[in-house]
């Protein structure tokens, strides 16, 4: 049996993380800490798919429903990390096992690894998943702090002060560009230089060492086809559970914040998509036009949830698996395929039982073909531009997919034909 275990149950939306977290806690005596940033807010229990009292089966759940959606103050990953580390100590003092459950992988990463975040004096930063509010005083010398400045202008400003960081960011990744500029403004040191200082050695791609020696990470996923069908079905279930009523009540209480801010609670998938419908006069919501807007909201929720699941999957490969490819101690890591819903709990518990019994588990990241290659460092993030197709992208894997795609091949063929015509002319 492990002396001081901590278990992370993370992964794609709709894979059964909450149920597995409860099962682990029941068998081994644990308490759950939520790492789903949108569940931090009070309300929207259906829209954010919060675990119900019945589903929790008496297991304590922390870091849920503690933020006021109308509070304009920031809550960021640094605050989450400190609060969670304090919770972990308290849970362990009760001789319980902390179980981190959720899909906000960036927040989970802040707990899993030490020295993984660059500290700045500002309590609000544009890496925040919860809120990215900014004050006018921060915009004096760095163009990144103005909403009037284009994404390209922000990126060019970053390239001027930190070319290496700029070359690893797409110009449209506004939040990361702003954060890199903020780091430079507050510290006087380029972010790329600080990242290099954080790296303990050359064997691991990312800075930061494992915080807890006895750490298990279960990453839950499913085949894209199964997951998309499951996610679409979940939206239909939310409607049956009373999504419309919940949205209307939440909107009536927090209307001002919803319309004044594009950050904070407005980042919740399951709320922002329905604002056009909610903004209608109440009688209009039940008209054919209202029904059409509500249906569009549902379709957008399904689309955005599928897109979010893809981003979660990319994080697993680019931010977690590559840490296992080095000499220093890493977390035990296993991917759990949840495509068969009847086996989620049994397969998940088999992983936990094996690990709790003293067996270290590591995902095999060896690759047999280029499609499965785990890109690292600059290869994973380098900004590349195809002038022929007039498109920019980050990562050599995305570049390879682009040049192998129909659009690029069509552009190449068209360019050759135009060149041949010019030569003949």
My answer on whether 246 and 296 are in the same domain is yes
pLDDT interval class at 267 (50, 70, 90):
confident
Q: Is 110 exposed, middle or buried (CB count within 10 Å of its CB: 0-12, 13-18, 19+)?
A: buried
- 């759950």: which residue's tokens? 32
CA distances from 5 to 2, 211, 251, 265, 353 (A): 6, 12, 41, 33, 12
My answer on whether 252 and 296 are in the same domain is yes
Picking from 205, 235, 258, the residue at the C-terminal end of a domain is: 205
pLDDT interval class at 58 (50, 70, 90):
very high
Evaluate whether residue 240 is within a structural domain: yes
What is the predicted pLDDT for the residue at 321? 64
Is the model's pTM score more than 0.75? Answer: no
My answer on whether 231 and 300 are in the same domain is yes
Evaluate whether residue 355 is within a structural domain: no
> Percentages helix, strand, coil for the chain, rounded to the nearest 5?
55, 10, 35
Measure CA of the first residue to CA of the last residue in the chain; give whole Å.
Answer: 79
Q: Is the dihedral of CA 123, 158, 152, 140 positive or negative?
A: positive
321-338 CB burial, b ≥16 within 10 A, e <16: bbbbeeeeebbbbbbbeb
Evaluate whether residue 47 is within a structural domain: no
DSSP single-letter state for residue 30: E
Region 177-194: mean pLDDT is 78
Joined tokens for residue 179: 């954060």
- Among 150-159, 238-247, 394-403, the least confident range: 394-403
Domain that holds residue 178: 133-205
How far, in Å, CA of 29 to CA of 23, rounded? 10
Picking from 268, 290, 306, the residue at the C-terminal end of a domain is: 306
My answer on whether 234 and 288 are in the same domain is yes
DSSP single-letter state for residue 210: B
């Amino acid at each position: 049996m492990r002396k001081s275990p901590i278990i992370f149950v993370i992964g794609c939306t709709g894979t059964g993380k909450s149920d597995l977290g409860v099962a682990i806690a029941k068998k081994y005596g644990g308490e759950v800490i939520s790492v789903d940033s949108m569940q931090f807010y009070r309300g929207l229990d259906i829209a954010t798919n919060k675990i119900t009292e019945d589903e929790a089966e008496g297991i304590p759940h922390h870091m849920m429903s503690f933020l006021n959606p109308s509070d304009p103050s920031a809550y960021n990953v640094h605050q989450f990390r400190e609060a969670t580390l304090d919770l972990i100590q308290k849970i362990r003092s009760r001789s319980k096992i902390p179980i981190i459950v959720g899909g906000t992988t960036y927040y989970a990463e802040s707990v899993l690894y030490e020295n993984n975040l660059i500290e700045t004096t500002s309590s609000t930063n544009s890496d925040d998943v919860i809120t990215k509010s900014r004050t006018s005083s921060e915009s004096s010398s760095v163009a990144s702090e103005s909403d009037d400045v284009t994404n390209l202008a922000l990126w060019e400003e970053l390239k001027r002060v930190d070319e290496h960081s700029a070359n690893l960011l797409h110009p449209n990744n506004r939040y990361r560009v702003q954060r890199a500029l903020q780091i430079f403004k507050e510290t006087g040191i380029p972010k790329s230089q600080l990242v290099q200082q954080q790296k303990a050695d050359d064997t691991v791609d990312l800075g930061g060492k494992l915080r807890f020696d006895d750490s298990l990470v279960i990453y839950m996923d499913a085949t894209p086809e199964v997951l998309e069908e499951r996610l679409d079905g979940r939206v239909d279930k939310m409607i049956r559970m009373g999504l419309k009523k919940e949205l209307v009540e939440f909107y009536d209480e927090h209307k001002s914040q919803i319309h004044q801010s594009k950050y904070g609670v407005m980042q919740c998938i399951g709320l922002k998509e329905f604002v056009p419908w909610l903004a209608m006069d109440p009688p209009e919501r039940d008209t054919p036009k209202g029904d059409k807007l509500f249906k569009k909201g549902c379709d957008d929720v399904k689309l955005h949830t599928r897109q979010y699941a893809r981003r979660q999957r990319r994080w697993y490969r680019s931010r977690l698996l590559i840490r296992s490819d080095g000499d220093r101690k890493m977390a035990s890591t296993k991917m759990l395929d949840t495509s068969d819903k009847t086996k989620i709990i049994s397969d998940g518990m088999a992983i936990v039982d094996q690990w709790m019994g003293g067996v270290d588990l590591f995902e095999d990241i060896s690759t047999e073909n280029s499609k499965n290659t785990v890109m690292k460092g600059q290869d994973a993030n380098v900004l590349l531009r195809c002038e022929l197709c007039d498109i920019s992208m980050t990562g050599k894997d995305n570049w390879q997919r682009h040049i192998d795609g129909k659009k690029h091949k069509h552009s190449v063929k068209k360019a050759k034909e135009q060149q041949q015509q010019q030569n003949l002319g």
